[in-house]
Amino acid sequence: MSNLLHIRFANIMYKGEFYMRKKGLIDIYILEILESHSSIKKKISQDEIIHYLDIDYHLSVTRKTISGYLNELREDGYISGKRGIYKINKFDDHELRLLIDGVLFGQHVPEKNADELIQKLKKISFYSLKNRVKHVCYLQGINHTQNDNLYEIIDLIDEAIEKNRKIEITQCIYDIDGELHDCGTTVVDPYYLVTEKSKYYLICYAGRNNDIENRRVDRISKIKILEDIRIPIEKLEKYSQGFNLANYMKEHIYMFSGNSQAVFIKLKRKKIGDFIDWFGKDYRLVEQEGDFITVRIIVNENAVYYWALQYGEVAEVLKPVELRNRIRDGLMNMVEKYN
């Protein structure tokens, strides 16, 4: 056989083998077609699927073949419908929109990953949602972290917590050039990773004041897992009786470190919704007088200080006196600046 015949024969065999491999993926191609061209509100027919297999994948199949694949996919729970067919999605349009918005406005999501994540979410959505989600074009104007190592850092912290190991963290801060710069290393005992106000925080012990601290994870540039075993949180005197993460998060609304204590706040009754937005419903009504109420809540002092500065027009901290005086002095300093 001549070399030319050998080449032609090899090409025919290759094309035949390639075509057979493609035919073995028909069920996947059907799901891709349904994902791109159908929804529960816009079902497509078998003939349309055959058309898209021919146009998009260069595969010619019979109605009988398609029916067999569709029956198997229907039995396995991937598709639904008989006269009109659509792919069953694990998320409906409203759930996917919530996820997309979570990425869009999540400051803990690195900027370079945000658009990619949104596009992936759109691809698993129904056909109608892909055409409706237009607000992603504003992504560049939203404040996302510039820490490109964030996901790797989260994974390493999670691994250290799982292994009960100490970690060495390299912290970073923004400078006037708008870039993050390393500013020192610290060894800490990691306990929990939490999110608050669209930011990740590491709850850890850094050897100070026999108490835990909160570190912004997007302000950590490097992580090194050490061989040393971390100190159990129950070994810290303050938490010898146990640690309640839910209560801790309620008491530290701005994730400031420090002690929590009983605080009495007087505010307008109609503003109780703003109070609950920040502190939740775990408060005690102490007094009600006209349009004003007084509530008692256990909360971090630093958190209340900054909250009171923000809501000073509608709320007044009555006790403890030391905190009240601190707020007064802070306001006086502000007045002096603006004079």
The greatest distance separating any two alpha carbons of the chain, rounded to the nearest whole angstrom, comes to 105
pLDDT in tens, 53-78: 888 888 888 888 888 888 888 888 88
Helices and strands (DSSP H and E) totals, the chain: 12, 11
**Count of other CB atoms within 10 angstroms of residue 250:** 21
User: Residue holding tokens 């035949």?
Assistant: 16
Is residue 114 predicted with pLDDT exceeding 70? yes
Residue 232 has pLDDT above 60, yes or no: yes
Q: Looking at 28-42, 118-132, 229-243, 308-322, which range is the least confident one?
A: 118-132
Q: Which two tokens stand for residue 215?
A: 């570190």
Is pLDDT above 80 for 283? yes
Determine the Cα–Cα distance for residues 28 and 78; give it in Å rounded to an integer. Answer: 11
On the question of pLDDT at 18 being above 60, the answer is no
Q: What's the mean pLDDT in 203-210?
A: 89
CA distance 315 to 248: 23
Q: How confident is the model at residue 187 (pLDDT cuts 50, 70, 90)?
A: very high
Best CA proximity match to 281, nearest among 271, 273, 290, 270: 273
Predicted pLDDT of residue 259? 75
**Top-confidence residue, 262 or 12:** 262
pLDDT at 331 over 60: yes
Measure the CA dihedral 267/270/272/278, to 10°. Answer: -100
Going through 199-309 in order, the beta strands assigned E by DSSP cover 199-205, 212-216, 220-229, 260-268, 284-289, 292-300
Indicate yes or no: pTM above 0.85: no
| Residue 25 reports pLDDT greater than 60 | yes
Q: Is the pLDDT of residue 137 over 60?
A: no
Residue 83 has phi, psi (to 5 degrees) of -70, -35
Residue whose C-alpha is closest to residue 205's, from 185, 223, 232, 244 = 232
The pLDDT-based confidence of 223 (bands split at 50, 70, 90) is very high
With a pLDDT cut of 70, the percent of the chain lying above it is: 79
**Nearest C-alpha neighbor of 226 from the set 165, 184, 169:** 165
